[in-house]
Amino acid sequence: MHSEGAKALESTALYGSISSRDEDALALSYFVPVPPAGHFNIRISYFIVHHPGGLQKTVKIRNIKSLSKDELAAWLIGHGQPAFRRAQIYDWLYRKWVTAFDDMRNIPTSLHNELATRFSAFSIIPIDRQTAQDGATKFLLKLSDANTIETVILHAADRYTVCISTQVGCPVQCAFCASGRHGLVRNLEPGEIVDQVIFACRHLGVRISNVVVMGMGEPLLNLHNTIAALDALCDPERMAMSARRITISTSGIPDGIRALADHGVPWNLALSLHAVTDKKRAAIIPAVWCSPLSTVLKACEYYKQTTGRVVTLEYTLIPGKNDYPEDCRGLASIATTLHAKVNVIPLSATGAHFRVPSQKQIRDFVHELQRQGAPVTIRESKGASIEAACGQLRSRDKPAGGDSEATATSGTESL
């Protein structure tokens, strides 16, 4: 091992140890204890390459799960491997959830080494977690470039659901959401999105059955990578999940909704509606991202017609803002016209900018919706005691003063 390179790497290794792969590349492995699942063996996504003249350069390597099926097949053929190798690699990555190429026991060692110099097998490290009394667990996950995202595992009677992020931060910056406070840092790559599901499977030791794309970020502003990741989750050769158990939540990006529909996979779509007039909606979703409601609803109608899936309207109830009789009438009218179901989300917690609804206010609003013929459920707040609302754990890690603290919570009722 080159001692200079080792020293530089050692200074970045929080928990880790360093191993040498060959004389040109150093691979850094983290061994992070995450009870009860044991140790993660995680290779970070860069190498320091030493050139004969003594120069060093940092080479970014890709998460192998970010490659399309065709890209991986072409890479394997280009490296003289038989066609069945891809299926073997997929079996280790998506069914056995390994996080290092060394663990792929039916793959030749020479291929382990070649894969490890080009790709990472896993790209997230848990650095913080909170568990609520109801069993919801939120993880703060560090990416290979040291950015952080949140992933939440929710437990209902008969299933586990993982709530995943698609961006670091969020450009939309909804008024009640901690994820948007710092704006967008970057899009997640497909492998980083998929790895959150693999991480949840490893943590629980069981296959996750349900995924909600409701974590940090606006998925339809990272559409290409989100679709690639969800395709991997639903691909029979990879995670083999049912499309009907995956829900994508959007603040309402009409072009993205139409593109998602045209992709042709019947994922569930949830629209964060929150208000029934453009004026009120713009007070929650900043104008630059707040398309006219009529355009958003037309895109939702297109989604329903194209995929055959019922759209869910998410409505965060904010007393004094969107809980008036005319709001209720407008919401019922949209829901019945679109044949959509309404998911009322009680605003959670603590801030001064918005008030939290009482149980009576929630009940009255829901009863009135039902009376007007709208199918409606109340989202049960899972993990409220651990700040399960989107972005709060990351904000605690990266505090910023003066923002609204009232938030919409993660939930399971409609999942």
Nearer to ligand SF4 (CB atom), residue 135 or residue 292: 292
Question: Of 136, 188, 191, nearest to 165 (Cα)?
Answer: 188
Token look-up 């698609």 returns 166
Residue 270: phi, psi to the nearest 5?
A: -120, 125
Catalytic residue among 71, 150, 368, 387: 150
Q: CB of 165: closest distance to ligand SF4 in angstroms?
A: 8
Q: Are strands 376-378 and 341-349 parallel, antiparallel or unpaired?
A: parallel
Exposed / middle / buried, residue 113 (Cβ in 10 Å: 0-12, 13-18, 19+): middle
* Residues 355/318, Cβ–Cβ less than 8 Å: yes
Nearer to ligand SF4 (CB atom), residue 221 or residue 376: 221
Nearer to ligand SF4 (CB atom), residue 104 or residue 172: 172
Nearer to ligand SF4 (CB atom), residue 386 or residue 390: 390
150 carries an active-site annotation: yes
306: tokens are 């194209």
Q: CB of 363: closest distance to ligand SF4 in angstroms?
A: 25
Q: CB of 213: closest distance to ligand SF4 in angstroms?
A: 10
* Residues 282/290, Cβ–Cβ less than 8 Å: yes
What are the strands of the beta sheet with 39-43, ordered from one edge?
A: 17-20, 26-33, 39-43
Nearer to ligand SF4 (CB atom), residue 38 or residue 183: 183
Nearer to ligand SF4 (CB atom), residue 180 or residue 191: 180
Q: CB of 222: closest distance to ligand SF4 in angstroms?
A: 11
Q: CB of 327: closest distance to ligand SF4 in angstroms?
A: 19
Q: CB of 256: closest distance to ligand SF4 in angstroms?
A: 12
Catalytic residue among 177, 201, 328, 390: 390
| C-alpha to C-alpha distance for 141 and 134, rounded to whole angstroms | 21
Q: CB of 306: closest distance to ligand SF4 in angstroms?
A: 23
- Provide the residue type at 356 as one letter: V
413 carries an active-site annotation: no
Nearer to ligand SF4 (CB atom), residue 5 or residue 391: 391
- Distances, alpha carbon 67 to alpha carbons 54, 63, 71, 74, in Å: 32, 8, 6, 10
Contact positions vs ligand SF4 (CB under 6 A) = 170, 172-174, 177, 179-180, 216-218, 251, 390
| C-alpha to C-alpha distance for 228 and 313, rounded to whole angstroms | 25
| C-alpha to C-alpha distance for 375 and 146, rounded to whole angstroms | 43
Q: CB of 329: closest distance to ligand SF4 in angstroms?
A: 25
- End-to-end Cα, the chain, rounded Å: 50
Q: 237 in the Ramachandran plot: left (φ > 0), alpha (ψ -120 to 50) or beta?
A: alpha
Q: Where are the alpha helices (DSSP H) in 161-218?
A: 190-204
Nearer to ligand SF4 (CB atom), residue 27 or residue 269: 269
Cβ contacts of residue 206 below 8 Å, gap of 6+? Answer: 160
Token look-up 């490890």 returns 116
Number of residues that make up the chain? 415
The number of C-alpha atoms within 13 Å of 256 and in the hemisphere containing its C-beta is 21
Task: Please give the positions annotated as active site.
Answer: 150, 390
